[in-house]
Amino acid sequence: MKKILITGGAGKIGSHFISQNKEKYDFIVLDKKRPIDESVDYIIGDLSDVDVLSKACKGVDIVLHLAGIPSADTPFDLVLAANMLGTKNLLDSMLENNISKIIFASSAQTIEGYEKDIQIDETMPTLPGNYYGISKVFGESLLSYLSKSSGVKAICLRIGAYEFPEDFTEMNARDMSAYLHPDDLNQLLNKCIESIDTFDFEIFNAISNNTYKRLNITKAKRLLNYTPQYNSFNLFKLKQ
């Protein structure tokens, strides 16, 4: 059974992934708060504490890096500390503990600067629309560098508008086009975990099978056999 460290594992994405996979993987959560499922091993702390990171990385096979400030309007000094320096600290600890595999929660905000009627694929240059997006571009770039320099195997998922359908009845056009159902992300995370040995460094767009797709998911379908089951245009009303 693979041992997986989930940074930020007490949040929405980590909690849902753990709930559907705790019999499949051996999880350890690193977060500033306790996980919803306290039967899972966890460590209270954050990415600024190198001693906590070293403890969390012991015996780990794969890191699922979800931790960070997720808000698009976060000031630069906050994303610098939490998202950029925190990611660098985590990767330093991984290398010190001989961990070579990571799945990084990047974001559709890495390309948010493009006009809304343009569909984005992974070959297009990044064009972040805010400091949060810049921090995710930094994470992708750092992992690309470490893949070449240190043999780190990394998959970056550009996660779209991740929401549970029961929490909304309508969405604006942008969020509907970038919508990602939690179960579709769980499928994608499983496929990344099981196939990461076959990649050195890859970026995949991560949204559901929406009628109009802000992000092109052809690459994930082809290389990961990703088969998203949900369509935002069947789940929500368009917010006027």
Q: Which of 25, 42, 132, 162 is catalytic?
A: 132
Q: What is the pLDDT of residues 30-49, one digit of tens each?
A: 999 999 999 999 999 999 99
Q: Say yes or no to pLDDT of 96 above 90.
A: yes
The backbone torsions φ and ψ at residue 206, rounded to the nearest 5 degrees and listed phi first, read -130, 90
The residues near 231 (Cβ < 8 Å, ≥ 6 apart) are: 208, 209, 210, 211
Q: What is the pLDDT of residues 104-115, one digit of tens each?
A: 999 999 999 999
pTM above 0.95, yes or no: yes
Is 131 annotated as catalytic?
no
Q: What pLDDT is stored for residue 169 in this prediction?
A: 85
Is residue 159 within 8 A of residue 70, CB to CB? The reply is no
